[in-house]
């Protein structure tokens, strides 16, 4: 059903604000005109405003101001990413559902998205506060590269989120290595990359994205007030999350394909433009000691390049005290 309705939305969109007759839709989709009418009525129940004029046909006037598989795909210009969208009103975790679907054979580029997560998770099994008014999304990928490259996709995704937020909202985030987006030193988005693999083969990889969009200060627990922010808090206005989601997906497809063709160098360059505290001194805590180091940028493999007592080397373990 959803596939047919999405095809109808695509036909209405391609008509470029002109009418398209029920007969044309019927012919294109090989369904009856009665079936076309029923699907139009279901789309209207979903919140679409569609004008029907005798002897002219149908014209889409407005998409609903809410998330659904249909609204996300309407106006989404991608070739393979987001062709299958699964939307849930409330779910424990989009990552958990995406893993189940990937195990069952879900296609490369499948997107799982929810209005609310009741058990959202971040890195190291940390809880992720994810109520309504945010973007909680997981992307299923089936890449052909080696498992050791998977960490580079976290960095790639961070650059995509930074570019998308800046393009849509005008705000310029910073990327805190390896997986957080900050605005004014407070976290606005995070990334969780998980995969199922063998020694030299990735069966599937899931990119989880959490972004605070339309929350107010009062929407966050008190313990997060100094740590978390939202796009609305920083910009002073409410945003259409569908536009941000589409920007992320469109940038993701383009940059992912470029990464497969050209490698990590462009990702490294963009990441360093947004890198948090690059060129600054921070405290590095290891199992043996705490010491002051300077953040230089990224290595070609995606590890963090630091300078310690005049010597530069990659950081593979340890905790940075930001």
Q: List, as residue ranges, the binding site for biotin.
A: 117, 187
CA–CA separation, 136 and 121 (whole Å): 10
CA–CA separation, 224 and 229 (whole Å): 8
Which residues line the annotated binding site?
A: 117, 187
CA–CA separation, 131 and 102 (whole Å): 25
């Amino acid at each position: 059903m959803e596939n047919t309705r999405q095809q109808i939305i695509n036909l209405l969109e391609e008509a470029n604000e002109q009418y398209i007759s029920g007969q044309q839709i019927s012919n294109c989709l090989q369904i009856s005109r009665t079936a076309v009418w029923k699907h139009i009525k279901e789309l209207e129940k979903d919140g679409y405003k569609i004008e029907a004029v005798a002897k002219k046909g149908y014209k889409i006037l407005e998409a609903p101001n809410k998330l659904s598989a249909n609204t996300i795909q309407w106006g989404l210009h991608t070739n393979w990413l987001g062709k299958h969208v699964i939307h849930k009103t409330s779910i424990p975790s989009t990552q958990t559902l995406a893993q189940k679907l990937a195990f069952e054979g879900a296609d490369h580029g499948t997107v799982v998205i929810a209005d609310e997560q009741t058990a959202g998770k971040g890195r190291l099994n940390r809880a992720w506060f994810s109520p309504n008014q945010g973007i909680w999304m997981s992307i299923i990928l089936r890449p052909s590269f080696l498992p050791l490259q998977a960490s580079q996709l976290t960095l790639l995704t961070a650059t995509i989120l930074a570019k998308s937020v800046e393009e849509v909202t005008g705000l310029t985030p910073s990327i805190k290595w390896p997986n957080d987006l900050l605005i004014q030193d407070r976290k606005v988005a995070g990334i969780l990359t998980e995969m199922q693999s063998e020694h030299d083969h990735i069966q599937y990889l899931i990119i989880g994205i959490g972004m605070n969009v339309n929350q107010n200060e009062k929407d966050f627990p008190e313990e997060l007030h100094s740590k978390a922010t939202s796009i609305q808090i920083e910009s002073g206005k409410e945003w259409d999350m569908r536009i941000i989601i589409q920007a992320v997906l469109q940038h993701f497809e383009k940059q992912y394909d470029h990464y497969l063709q050209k490698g990590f160098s462009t990702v490294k360059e963009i990441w360093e433009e947004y890198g948090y505290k690059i060129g600054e001194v921070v405290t590095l805590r290891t199992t043996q000691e705490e010491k002051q180091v300077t953040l230089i940028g990224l290595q070609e493999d995606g590890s963090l390049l630091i300078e310690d007592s005049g010597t530069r080397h990659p950081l593979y373990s340890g905790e940075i005290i930001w």
